[in-house]
Structure 1
Amino acid sequence: MRLADRYESFQSLAAREIEGVHYRIHVAARSSPVVVVAPHGGLIEPGTSEVAAAIAADRFSLYCFESLTMRARGDGLHITSTRFDEPRALRLIEASDVAIGVHGRKNGEDEASVWVGGLHETLRDAICDALLQSGFRAKTVGEGHRLAGRDPANICNRGRRREGVQIEMPKALRIKFAADAAHRHAFADAVRAALSDELAGVR
Structure 2
Amino acid sequence: MGKKKDEYACFNDLAATEIEGVDYRICVTDRTSRIAIVAPHGGWIESATSQIAAAIAAAEFSLYCFEGLRPGRPHSDLHIKSEIFDEPKACHLVEDTEIAIGVHGRKDNGDQQTVWVGGLDFGLRDRIAKALMQNGFNAVVRNSGETLAGIDRNNICNRGSSKAGVQLEVPRTLRHQLANNTPRLNNFADAVRAAIGQYIADGDSVSDQNAMG
Rounded Cα–Cα distance in structure 2 between residues aligned with 1:95 and 1:15: 27
Task: State the match for 1:115 in structure 2.
Answer: 116
Deviation at 1:2, TM superposition (A): 3.4
Please say which of residues 127-136 and 75-84 is displaced more in the overlay. 75-84
Rounded Cα–Cα distance in structure 2 between residues aligned with 1:41 and 1:172: 16
Deviation at 1:76, TM superposition (A): 1.5
Rounded Cα–Cα distance in structure 1 between residues aligned with 2:80 and 2:151: 17
Task: State the match for 2:133 in structure 1.
Answer: 132
Task: State the match for 1:66 in structure 2.
Answer: 67
Task: State the match for 1:197 in structure 2.
Answer: 198
Identity of aligned residues (%): 52
Rounded Cα–Cα distance in structure 2 between residues aligned with 1:149 and 1:95: 20
Rounded Cα–Cα distance in structure 1 between residues aligned with 2:46 and 2:132: 21
Structure 1 stretches (4+) deviating beyond 2 angstroms? Answer: 70-75, 142-146
Deviation at 1:72, TM superposition (A): 4.1
Please say which of residues 55-64 and 178-187 is displaced more in the overlay. 178-187
1:15 paired with 2:11, answer no
Match for 1:120: what amino acid?
A: D
Change (3 A) 1:136 1:145: farther
Unaligned runs of 5+ in 1: none
How is 1:74-153 mapped onto 2 (pairs within 5 angstroms)?
76-142=77-143, 146-153=147-154
Is the contact made by 2:114 and 2:170 (CA closer than 8 Å) also made in structure 1?
yes
Task: State the match for 2:37 in structure 1.
Answer: 36
TM-score normalized with structure 2 length: 0.91
Deviation at 1:145, TM superposition (A): 5.2
Q: Deviations over 1:53-75 (max 9, x none)?
A: 00000100000000001354365
TM-score normalized with structure 1 length: 0.95
Task: State the match for 1:165 in structure 2.
Answer: 166
Deviation at 1:112, TM superposition (A): 1.2
Deviation at 1:144, TM superposition (A): 9.3
Is the contact made by 1:117 and 1:147 (CA closer than 8 Å) also made in structure 2?
yes
Deviation at 1:143, TM superposition (A): 11
Please say which of residues 64-73 and 180-189 is displaced more in the overlay. 64-73
1:148 match: secondary structure: coil
